[in-house]
Structure formats: C-alpha cells, structure tokens
Amino acid sequence: MRILVAMSGGVDSSVVAGLMAEAGHDVIGVTLQLYDHGAAVGRKGACCAGQDIYDAGSVADRLGIPHYVIDAEARFRAAVMQDFADSYAAGQTPVPCVRCNQSVKFGDLIALASDLGAEAMATGHYVRRVDGAQGAELHRAVDEARDQSWFLFATTQQQLGRSLFPLGGMPNKDAVRVEAARLGLPVARKPDSQDICFVPSGSYAEVVAKFRPDAVQPGEIVDEAGTVIGTHEGVARYTVGQAKRLGAAAQHEGTRRVVVGLDAARRRVVVGAPTAGSPVVKLREVNWLVTPAAFDCHVKLRARDTLRPARVVPTAEGAEVHLAVPALAAPGQACVFYQGDRVLGGGFICAA
Amino acid sequence: MAYFDANATEPLRPAARAAVLAAMEAAGNPSSVHAAGRAARRVLEESRARLAACFGAAPAGVVFTSGGTEANALALHGLGIGRRILIGATEHDAVRAAAPGAEMVAVDTTGVADLPALARQLAAGPPALVCLMLANNETGVLHPIADAAALCRAHGARLHVDAVQAAGRLAIDLPALGADSIAVSGHKLGGPMGAGALLLAGDPALPPLMRGGGQERGRRGGTPALPAIAGLAAAAEAAVADLPDQLRIAALRDRIEAAATVAGAMALGAAAPRLANTTCLALPGVRADTQVIALDLAGFQVSAGAACSSGKVAASHVLAAMGLGALAGCAVRVSLPWNATAEDADRLDAAYLEMAGRLLRRAA
C-alpha cells in the first residue's frame, strides 16, 4: 500500500521509512519545514532548512523513495509557537510537542496523505497501535524509557486509524540503530535530538519574548497574603512547584518556598510553602479514545511522571481527575489516562 | 514520465551534446600561447561569435559566465556602479539577491511592468540602472522592454535585461531591444549547465566580480568552462533556428491551459503577452506543493514558486506582486520543453483533470 512517512531526518523516522520500503510498500517521504532554521540559530543568510532536512533527503535517496519538503512555517508559527508563548504569558507551562502533533503532524500530514492517495501515515514515534474490537487503540511502547504515548494523547480516534508506528515494538534505541546500520542509512550514528526543536539554544524565554514581550516583563514576587517580597524577570520564566530564579524569596524564616501560583494578569509570581498539591485536577480539551464515562485508571501529569491511581469523571468542560494521592499539577501540561499499557485519553490541565 | 519543467532546465539539445563532447576532447587552456591553447581559444572565440550572432550582438560584447545568476550579478555590479538600482517586482532571485537595496518597479495584475510608474521613478532621482526581465520564469509574462528601454534612454538610465527565460524561445535582437545588456543561460535553452553569458551593447566599462587571471578581457576572471560554453553556443543556434516551432509549443500550451481551466484552474497572467511554453495554473484552495507532489507521483514533472535548495516550495513573490496573494500558494507552473509532444500534453491533461477533481473536492 501507499504510505506517507513523516521523516524528520533523525534515526527513528529514517528507520521507519527504510522498514516500510523494505516491506514493499509504496513509500512517500515527507519532511516538514517547521521554522526558519537560519533565523532560529541566529545565522544571517543561512538556509531556511537545517541539516535534518538534508539528512532526510539523503536517507530517502539512499532508499530510492521520493522525498518532499513541505513548508509548514506559517502553520507551525500560529498553531505551536504562538500557543507556546501565549501559554507562558498566561502563567502556564505548555507542551508544544503535543500541539505540533495535533496540528501539523497528525492534522495536516494525514490530510496530505489522503490527498496523495496514501492509506496511512507512518511516524517514528515510540508508541504502539493495537487494533481492538472498537478500532485502533493507542498503547505505550515496549521500551518504557522511550515511550511517547503521553505526547500523543491528543491523537483522535480517526487519526489513529490512519497512523502506523513501526517502532513501538522495538526493545530499545540500540535496536533501532542496528536496523539503521543494517539498512545502510547515513544517519545510523546520528545523536538523538534534544529539547524543543524550535528552541535550539535552549533559551525558550527568548522565543517567548519575540511573540509575547509582556511575558518577560519584570514584576513582583508576593507571598500568599499578597505581601511583596521581591521582584522577578517575567512570569514566563517560572514554573509552579519550582524554586528556580526566586533568589532570596526562596527562603522564609528558615523554610523553603516555591512558586505556588502565577498571576499573569497582575504579572505576579506567588510563592509559598511547598504543598503536596491538589487531590482534584480539572482538564480542558479532553481527547477520549474510549466512550466518555467515569472510570478508574492511572494518570501521568508530566511526560516523565510515574503512573498515579486516579478516577476520571467527564464534565461539560472536559474532565475532572480525582487523584488517590494529591499531587502538583502544572497548568498547561497534559494529564493522560492509562489502563495498563493503553491510553484512554487525556486533556490539558487547567489553572486551579 | 513526462517533463513539463523546462523553465527550470531544458532537455539537452543534440547539437549541444555534440558540441560539448567535441570540446571535451580539446586538451588546451584558451589562455595558453601554444598550439593546444590556440585550438582551445578557437573553440572559445567561435562560440563567442556564434552566440553573439544569435542575439544580434557584437562578439566583443559577449562575457561568458557560469550561468544566468552570475551574468545578472555581473551586470548589476558592473553597470550599476554609482547608480541607483531599480528592479521589477517580479524579477528572479538571481537579480533580487544581487540588488538587495533596490527600488521596486511595480507590475499590474497581469504581471506587466508599470511603465508610467517607472517613468515617475526615473524622473524623481539620480541616474539609475534599471533591471527588468524579458520573460517571467513563473508566468511567462513579457515586459515591454523596447518601451522601457526608450524610457530609460530618455532619463539617462541604463537598462539590463534578464533574458534567461526568453532566450531561445523568442527572437531577440539586442540593438532592436535597446537594452544595455542581456543575460542568458545555457541550460535554459537546451545547453548544458555551467555556462551563461552577459551580452553587452557597446563597450561599457565592466569591473569584474572576480578578477582572477584577467580572462574575458578583464571582465570575468577564471578559466572559461569551454565544453559548457561550446554547448551554450550550439544550443542557442539550434534554439534560434527552431523558433518557428514555438507556434506548435504554443498550441500545446493553449490546449493544456484550456483543459485545466475546464478542470477548475485559473491561468494567471494569461491576459498579457507571454512566452509560448509557459502557463501558471492556480487551483483555488489547493496547496501548490500538494499539486506538484501529486503530479510527480503520477509521473508528471511541474513546479511551483521558486524551489529552495532543500526542495521546499516557497510562496511566490511573483504572484504576490501581481496582487494575487491568496492564489500565490495555489499555483503550479507548467513549462513545455522544446521537445514536448502532443501525446505527453494529452496525458498531462488527463492527469491534471484527475488531480484537480480529487483535490478540489477535498478542499471544498
């Protein structure tokens, strides 16, 4: 069958393209150009395409498959980068990879696959698609360390039905590199990518500042009673539950204090004693991969969280998650529902 | 596989292939004083005379370059010294990038240069170098160069013409055109890649971009790419001899355009005088890159906008300058090569119809 492979230029998606071609499929390689690489690394006159796009092209050439580069800059800027900055400006901690998966990858690329007569899109994500009685199910990868199911919770049932994840069953990354070498791919030894792709310098505050200068304006640090106890360098630089950048405000009469709230409207960082968090977490934009109903399951409140026992209850706005043990939940992050290895859905965490 | 991307590069003409192979057998460097050098120089100077004759130019006015980009850059650099630079809003990146601070000459909605506006611009400032293309690479639209040249003369301005797309597809006579120089490219008229030329009217001072060993009368340093230059001259001669065949090409193009219009496309720039081989077809609401990919997978090679070196299809500044902002991302260019056949055109019609039907349904 004809399969569109989303190729990033990294080892994982390159191996996917290789495996699909080897299996005899009619493979079309597509690489999204998401942002101006030259501008992102601050090199004037540099090509808009980074090394990864060239690597994807080399891999496709090696495999003898057609390869195309799609200009997704405008869409990525609006759907991912702007949302990223807006979330920080609102005192939240966004997950841009989820937004990217929701919009350009599983939205636009699957539409492109349809337009090109491809029956499915294959990606290098470490998750498994299991075809159950009710259709395609999303499951965690075999390799727990590489599992990306948390980042894919927003994939709709329909998108899931058109997606293939050939690496979900791989035992570990080394096995993927062995496959890359066996297929003779020039990226077999390429290092893994790190961090957020459009923040190559690691300084996300610079990116936020470009879109939302207000989010990096100085303001007051206050305690829970509203007493001003210091100044900060912009709400976008703070995360609930952390003490980073609080300076002297991180200590009060010998006890440790952390950020307990971000009041974006008044540009205030609120500090207080570290708490165990809340027993109830409210979610918005919930994606259900089962019929919405109250159920007991496990949840993850962060990408690398442990599984926490909880009860999920659908609401008009989304869902409420009743945690067996109270926990800190950062607004803007995702809460994903698991039953065993299966993802039942998830949503974005609302401000308390 | 059917090739409809001639404006990216034309298929090699047999006469050019023969000339390239013959020149590759010559051992000498045209700058050498010995017999082998003289033999190489004979090939170079014969190529110069033959190329000049194709465009009514003097052999002494021919400066061989690596291609169209260099020929345009050399003109802007050499003829623009001490002058302000005006370029058309739909010029190729070879010109745009070589004149980063240039003032723009507007075009109308069909893509034709706005000459009254140009006249006002010329009257408003010190002597200029104006750069306009004879034919646009994306739409095939022709600028009224002879009129522009008269205007430039009246205002003491120089006129350089990017004739890369027009050369070999239109009769060009440099004196009749009235321009100070034209740029041509070998591979755009059926020669090999790697050679082009700047053809100068008269004998203006032309400081080189690269001084090197003073080749090309000090106007372009570096050993000339003799096989490519011999191929360029042979291809130009063949193309000029073949110009009557452009009537056949135009008929094929018109058929493709009519079929695409029935399928829901708009032919952009079609109201203006155009090259015979080019049509720019917009399918409202359908991304240009999707169309290019779909046609490629079906075995038909067309292009859209200006492709980046990565292969990404960038938004077209040409269509944007024509005020077709919304359509700018929805247009593909079909450019027929010199050896296009009616059978290929018929097959393209069928493939385009199928693609347009499918993608327009989905876009609706």
Query: pLDDT digit string (tens) for B64-107?
Result: 999 999 999 999 999 999 999 999 999 999 999 999 999 999 99
pLDDT at residue A37 greater than cutoff 90: no
Domain with residue A64: its CATH number is 3.40.50.620
How far away is chain A from the Cα of B122, in angstroms, using its nearest Cα? 31
Q: Tell me what the mean pLDDT of segment A228-257 comes to.
A: 86
pLDDT at residue A313 greater than cutoff 70: yes
Tokens 């529902």 correspond to A337
What pLDDT band is residue B307 in, cutting at 50, 70 and 90?
A: low
What pLDDT band is residue A239 in, cutting at 50, 70 and 90?
A: confident
Residues A261 and A339 in one domain: no
Residue A74 within a domain: yes
Active site residues of B: 308
3-state secondary structure chain A: CEEEEECCCCHHHHHHHHHHHHCCCEEEEEEEECCCHHHHCCCCCCCCCCHHHHHHHHHHHHHCCCEEEEECHHHHHHHHHHHHHHHHHCCCCCCHHHHHHHHHHHHHHHHHHHHCCCCEEECCCCEEEEEECCEEEEEECCCCCCCCHHHHCCCCHHHHCCEECCCCCCCCHHHHHHHHHHCCCCCCCCCCCCCCCCCCCCCHHHHHHHHCHHHHCCEEEEECCCCEEEEECCHHHCCCCCCCCCHHHHEECCEECEEEEEECCCCEEEEECCCCCEEEEEEEEEEECCCCCCEEEEEECCCCCCCEEEEEEECCCEEEEEEEEEECCCCCCEEEEEECCEEEEEEEECCC
What pLDDT band is residue B306 in, cutting at 50, 70 and 90?
A: low
Residues A255 and A313 in one domain: no
- Predicted local confidence at residue B312, as pLDDT: 67
Structure tokens at A2: 């004809």
Structure tokens at B261: 């219009």
Q: Dump strand ranges (E) for B29-188.
A: 62-65, 84-88, 103-105, 128-133, 158-162, 181-185
- Predicted local confidence at residue A251, as pLDDT: 85
Interface touch A28/B297, C-beta < 8 Å:
yes
Burial environment of residue A46 by CB neighbours within 10 A (0 to 12, 13 to 18, 19 or more): middle
List CB contacts of A203: < 8 A, sequence separation 6 or more: none
pLDDT at residue B151 greater than cutoff 80: yes
In 3D space, the residue among B26, B69, B28, B9 whose CA is nearest the CA of residue B235 turns out to be B9
How far away is chain B from the Cα of A72, in angstroms, using its nearest Cα? 10
Query: In the listed set A182, A208, A230, which residue is the last one of a domain according to the structure?
Result: A182
Q: Name which residue leads in pLDDT, B162 or A36.
A: B162
CB-CB: which of A48, A53, A70 is closest to B289?
A70
Structure tokens at B301: 């090679």
Residues B106, B317 contacting (CB under 8 angstroms): no
Interface touch A69/B310, C-beta < 8 Å:
yes
- Predicted local confidence at residue B315, as pLDDT: 73
- Predicted local confidence at residue B313, as pLDDT: 66
Residues B363, B285 contacting (CB under 8 angstroms): yes
Interface touch B310/A115, C-beta < 8 Å:
no
Residues A243 and A285 in one domain: no
pLDDT at residue A337 greater than cutoff 60: yes
Residue A350 is a catalytic residue: no
Domain ranges of chain B: 2-9+244-363, 14-241
pTM (predicted TM-score): 0.91
How far away is chain A from the Cα of B363, in angstroms, using its nearest Cα? 10
| Measured distance CA(A321)–CA(B350) in Å, rounded | 56
Question: Which domain range does residue A108 map to?
Answer: 2-182
The region, left, alpha or beta by phi > 0 then psi within -120 to 50, assigned to residue A45 is left
pLDDT in tens, A246-255: 888 888 788 8
Domain with residue A283: its CATH number is 2.40.30.10
Tell me which amino acid residue A160 is: L
Going A127 to A131 to A132 to A137, the CA torsion angle's sign is positive
Residue A105 within a domain: yes
pLDDT at residue B239 greater than cutoff 90: yes
- Predicted local confidence at residue A47, as pLDDT: 59
Into how many domains does chain A fold? Answer: 3
| Measured distance CA(B361)–CA(B318) in Å, rounded | 27
Residues A322 and A257 in one domain: no
- Predicted local confidence at residue B26, as pLDDT: 82
- The Cβ of residue B361 has, within 10 Å, a number of other Cβ atoms equal to 8
Greatest distance between any 2 Cα atoms in chain B:
71
How far away is chain B from the Cα of A287, in angstroms, using its nearest Cα? 25
* C-alpha A256 chain-centroid distance: 31
Query: In the listed set A128, A159, A182, which residue is the last one of a domain according to the structure?
Result: A182
Classified as helix, coil or strand, B97 is: coil
Residues above pLDDT 90, as percent of chain B: 91
Q: What is the DSSP letter of B48?
A: H
| Measured distance CA(A65)–CA(A60) in Å, rounded | 5
Q: Tell me what the mean pLDDT of segment B28-52 comes to.
A: 96
Nearest CA in chain B to A32: B312
Structure tokens at A350: 């609302």
Interface touch A49/B358, C-beta < 8 Å:
no
Interface touch A71/B312, C-beta < 8 Å:
yes
Residue A76 within a domain: yes
CATH class of the region B2-9+244-363: alpha beta
Neighbour order of strands in the sheet with A219-223: A228-232, A219-223, A268-272, A258-263
Instruction: Sort out which chain A residues have CB atoms less than 8 A from B358's CB and list them.
Output: 115
Instruction: For domain B14-241, give the fold.
Output: Aspartate Aminotransferase; domain 2 (3.40.640)
- Predicted local confidence at residue B188, as pLDDT: 98
Interface touch B310/A57, C-beta < 8 Å:
yes
Tell me which amino acid residue A281 is: V
Tally A–B CB contacts below 8 A: 53
Domain with residue A226: its CATH number is 2.30.30
Interface mutation target, options B297, B301, B316, B361, chain A, most CBs of A under 10 Å: B297
- The Cβ of residue B326 has, within 10 Å, a number of other Cβ atoms equal to 12
Instruction: Sort out which chain A residues have CB atoms less than 8 A from B297's CB and list them.
Output: 28, 66, 116-117
Residues A174 and A26 in one domain: yes
Instruction: Sort out which chain A residues have CB atoms less than 8 A from B308's CB and list them.
Output: 47-49, 69
Instruction: Sort out which chain B residues have CB atoms less than 8 A from A71's CB and list them.
Output: 289, 312-315
Burial environment of residue B39 by CB neighbours within 10 A (0 to 12, 13 to 18, 19 or more): middle
Residue A63 within a domain: yes
What pLDDT band is residue B310 in, cutting at 50, 70 and 90?
A: low
Residue A204 within a domain: no
Q: Tell me what the mean pLDDT of segment A111-136 comes to.
A: 96
Residues A268 and A283 in one domain: no
Residues A71 and A113 in one domain: yes
Average pLDDT, chain B: 95
Cβ-based interface (< 8 Å): residues of A facing B = 28, 33, 47-49, 53-54, 57, 66-71, 111-112, 114-117
Instruction: Sort out which chain B residues have CB atoms less than 8 A from A48's CB and list them.
Output: 308, 310, 312
* C-alpha A313 chain-centroid distance: 24
What pLDDT band is residue A121 in, cutting at 50, 70 and 90?
A: very high
Structure tokens at B119: 């006249």
pLDDT in tens, A257-267: 899 888 888 99
Nearest CA in chain A to B296: A66
- The Cβ of residue B213 has, within 10 Å, a number of other Cβ atoms equal to 12
| Measured distance CA(A284)–CA(A169) in Å, rounded | 31
Residue A191 within a domain: no
Instruction: Sort out which chain B residues have CB atoms less than 8 A from A116's CB and list them.
Output: 290, 293-294, 297
Residue A160 within a domain: yes
Instruction: Sort out which chain B residues have CB atoms less than 8 A from A111's CB and list them.
Output: 362
Tokens 């075999």 correspond to A142
Q: Tell me what the mean pLDDT of segment B312-319 comes to.
A: 79
